[in-house]
Amino acid sequence: MIGASLSRWSMAYFAAALIALFAAEIMMTAGFGFPGATVAAPETLILVHVVAIGWLSLLMCGALLQFVPVLVVQPLYSDTLALPALVLLVSGLAALVLGFLQLGGYIGTSFPFLAAASVLLGCGFALIIWNLGRTLAAAPKLPLPAQFVTVGLVCVAATVTLGIIFALVLGGTVNATSLLVLTGIGRPIHATAGLGGWLTFTAMGVSYRLLAMFMLAPDLERPTTRAALLIGTIALAVAIAGGVIAALTHGNPAIALLAAFIGGVLALALYGADVRHLYRARKRKNIELNSRMTAFAFASLAASVVLIAVLLGLGQLEEHIGAVVFLVAFGWLSGLGLAQLYKIVAFLTWLECYGPILGKAPTPRVQDLVVEPRAVKWFRLYLLAVWAGEIVLLAGLPLLFRVATAAMFVATIGIAGEILRTRRLHNVAAASRLPAGAQLPRLLISSHA
Amino acid sequence: MTSAFLELDVRPTLRNGGEPFQEIMQAIASLVPGQGLKLYATFKPVPLFSVLKSKGFSNEARELDNGDWEVLFLPTEGAAHTAPAAAPAADSAAWPAPMQELDNRDLDPPEPMVRTLAATEAMQQGEVLCALLCREPVFLLPELAKRGHAWRGAFEPDGTTYKILIRIGAADREAA
């Protein structure tokens, strides 16, 4: 056991992720894709994948490259593989966007962009799964948060596999009947595996550890945590394996997804109880901005579950699926992601800059790298904009939705600006910024020394 | 007459979420020449094999009916008598008593790391620092290695306190 060091490329992942988030917000504000276009329109597909791959997956990969080693107290299997994975994922996303533009008739060339995207994204995610999988496999015993991440990695493999099948079918590369059928009705399975399995389940696992760490609460290995893991895993298996089998045997994947939803609600309720326990059992009474804002992300997650249940009851889920995905992606996943990113960048930058001289010279505290009263305004604007956007989406007011996403864009620019200031140590008083022996960290590459 | 094997059951420690490494090392240190260790664990303790091999023990592991593992660590020929003498720092009795003790359990991260490193900077070569933490110090360990300090750490039997002993400038003498 030698502990964990700084992940070299995580900052580059975070930067690429934020750029994708800006792009998605600009698209929504410009009226590109849903709700102006239908959920299945190429424009919407572009928007959804810029959010899911560009923003959320790159953010998650960057965070996992840093925190999987922390979860299992093992060094990352390979720091080197992280860079080609990033290049493959970004270029794969670009090819995917071009492929969708081709489907929408925006580009005339016959270059097989969707097939290229399949190869690039497939290889990129495979490298991530291999790197993190080997890191997990080196641990003598997986703590519960790491088991959540393991399930999440299986789910991203399933998501990418389905995505590749869809891309090859839509791009005309394959035309086997079964795959055509799967592409026709398998989209909800793909979305559930991605948003539910990969992003939500992994975020749950990592949040158990990060919340405990930053709030000084005991690490949880409670029966409820085990039950959340077990029930959640079964629900995901039912949704993904059950859904695919149903689709291939001319059944209805909706039944598998409904069964999985019930299990998913149970798992999320147990997770909610655990998180409440973490907040209550914390030793640190004054919690920092990231933990306060994360609470609002949890509220969005709970609201998403209630919304799905209500829409199912009213028989309107299909009609409002765009609004559901919006709340899950921007209220829950992005809310959590932005809040934790704000803290993670401060913590990692502090560790990189001052770790080597701790005890040898006076150093600033981590909190000296951030100015919370300024950042909190941007976070409030972001959350209000997302919730307002959700309401006007449900009410069918597309123009007001664009106003809301414009506010989201302004807020995330503000948050990203704060994160940039943190990374450049602009918030630290000049006199104590760089004591002898300390070096200003590079923007996108972290060094070990 | 001592028996051929000292028995050590670390399953309760593991089930309580503890880290039995220190317990095992103490048991190894207490063996009389020629004596082996019979270890019971909840999983096959593969990382331990190489650690104990370097201390002159071969191993025979077998899975029990209930999924637990029984491992026999046998002193290899000739190694039993020479190994402890050749690596005095490797047995915990050889470390001097801590010069300083820190209780960092209630501090906000990364304050425990800050205080621990500050304390090591003020100490002399060969001295030992004892620090109590509320979790495994994953970011501290590489920093200790970089500064050339040796360390030994494990969760206490309560499963919530992580106790680390740091010996200043002793990394050369011991592969942690």
**Is A340 domain-assigned?**
yes
Q: Is A364 on the interface with B (CB under 8 A)?
A: no
pLDDT at A107 over 80: yes
CB contact under 8 A, A213 and B142: no
Map tokens 């039944």 to a residue.
A255
Does residue A393 lie within any of the structural domains?
yes
> What is the Rg, in whole angstroms, of the alpha carbon atoms belonging to chain B?
17
Number of residues written out for chain B: 176
Mean pLDDT value across residues A281-300: 90
Q: Per the domain annotation, does A388 fall within a domain?
A: yes
Least reliable range by pLDDT among A102-106, A148-152, A284-288, B112-116: A284-288
Structural domains of chain B ordered from first start = 5-86 (3.30.110.40), 95-173 (3.30.110.40)
Average pLDDT of the residues in A59-72: 95
Q: Do A1 and B141 touch (CB under 8 A)?
A: yes
Residue ranges making up the domain that contains A367: 316-449
Spatial CA neighbour of A167 closest among A186, A145, A193, A148: A186
Q: What value does the mean pLDDT of chain B take?
A: 79
Cβ neighbours of residue A373 closer than 8 Å, sequence gap 6 or more:
none
Interatomic CA distance for residues A13 and B141, integer angstroms: 25
DSSP 8-state secondary structure symbol assigned to residue B33: T
Position B87 scores a pLDDT of 30
* pLDDT at residue A368 is higher than 90: yes
Among the partner-chain residues B45, B111, B118, the one whose CB lies closest to the CB of A359 is B118
Residues in chain A closer than 8 A to B142 (CB atoms)? 2-5, 448
Q: What does the DSSP 8-state code read for residue A361?
A: B
CB contact under 8 A, B139 and A351: yes
pLDDT of residue B34: 80
The whole-number pLDDT of residue A331 equals 98
- A350–B137 C-beta distance less than 8 A: no
Report, as an integer, the average pLDDT of A291-303. Answer: 95
3-state secondary structure (DSSP) of residue A112: coil
Residue A60 domain flag: no
Q: What is the pLDDT of residue B2?
A: 58
For the ranges A10-19, A72-81, B80-89, the maximum mean pLDDT occurs at A10-19
Whole-number Å distance between alpha carbons of B171 and B176:
7
Q: What is the C-alpha end-to-end distance of chain B, expressed in Å?
A: 34
Q: How many residues does chain A have?
A: 449
Backbone angles phi, psi at A204, to 5 degrees: -60, -50
pLDDT digits (tens, 9 = 90+) for A22-44: 999 999 999 999 999 999 999 99
Decide: A72 and A143 in contact? Cβ < 8 Å.
Answer: yes
pLDDT digits (tens, 9 = 90+) for A313-355: 999 999 999 999 999 999 999 999 999 999 999 999 999 999 9
Please say whether the beta carbons of B167 and B150 come within 8 A. yes
Residues of B near A (Cβ–Cβ under 8 Å) read: 14, 17, 43, 45-47, 106, 108-111, 113-114, 117-122, 134-143, 145-146, 160, 176
Nearest Cα neighbor of A122 from A91, A100, A152 is A91
**Span A266-294, average pLDDT:** 91
Classify burial at A395, counting beta carbons within 10 Å of its beta carbon; exposed 0-12, middle 13-18, buried 19 or more: exposed
Question: A212: which chain B residues are within 8 Å (Cβ-Cβ)?
Answer: 135
Is position A414 within any domain?
yes
CA A361 to each of CA A129, A135, A347, A438, A446: distance values in angstroms, whole numbers, following the listed order: 40, 34, 19, 9, 21
A293 in a structural domain: no
> What pLDDT does A14 receive?
98
Q: Are A414 and A407 in contact (CB under 8 A)?
A: no
Are B108 and A140 an interchain contact pair (Cβ–Cβ within 8 Å)? no
Question: What ipTM did this prediction achieve?
Answer: 0.81
- pLDDT given for residue A3 in this prediction: 65
Question: What's residue A222's pLDDT?
Answer: 87
Report the pLDDT value the prediction gives residue B110, as an integer from 0 to 100: 87
User: From CA A362, how far away is CA B167, in angstroms rounded?
Assistant: 23
pLDDT above 70 coverage of chain A, percent: 99
CB count within 10 Å of CB A372 equals: 15
DSSP one-letter string for A253-293: HHHHHHHHHHHHHHHHHHHHHHHHHHHHH-S-SS--HHHHH
Q: Map residue B109 onto helix, strand or coil.
A: coil
- Partner B contacted by A214 (CB < 8 A): yes
Residue with tokens 């720092």: B89
Domain count along chain A: 1
Q: Read off the pLDDT of residues A405-426 as tens digits, 9 standing for 90 and up.
A: 999 999 999 999 999 999 999 9
CA angle (A408, A410, A412) in 5-degree steps: 65
Q: What is the pTM of this model?
A: 0.83
pLDDT at B82 over 60: no
Q: Is A108 within the bounds of a domain?
A: no
Rounded to 5°, angle at Cα A52 from A279 and A314: 75
User: Which residues share a beta bridge with B40?
Assistant: B9, B70
Does some domain include residue A447? yes
Subunit contact A359:B135, Cβ cutoff 8 A: no
- Highest-confidence range of A68-72, A141-145, A306-310, B57-61, by mean pLDDT? A306-310
pLDDT band for position B78 (50/70/90)?
low
Residue that is written with structure tokens 């002993």 in the block = B165
Residue A66 has a CB neighbour count (10 Å cut-off) of 26
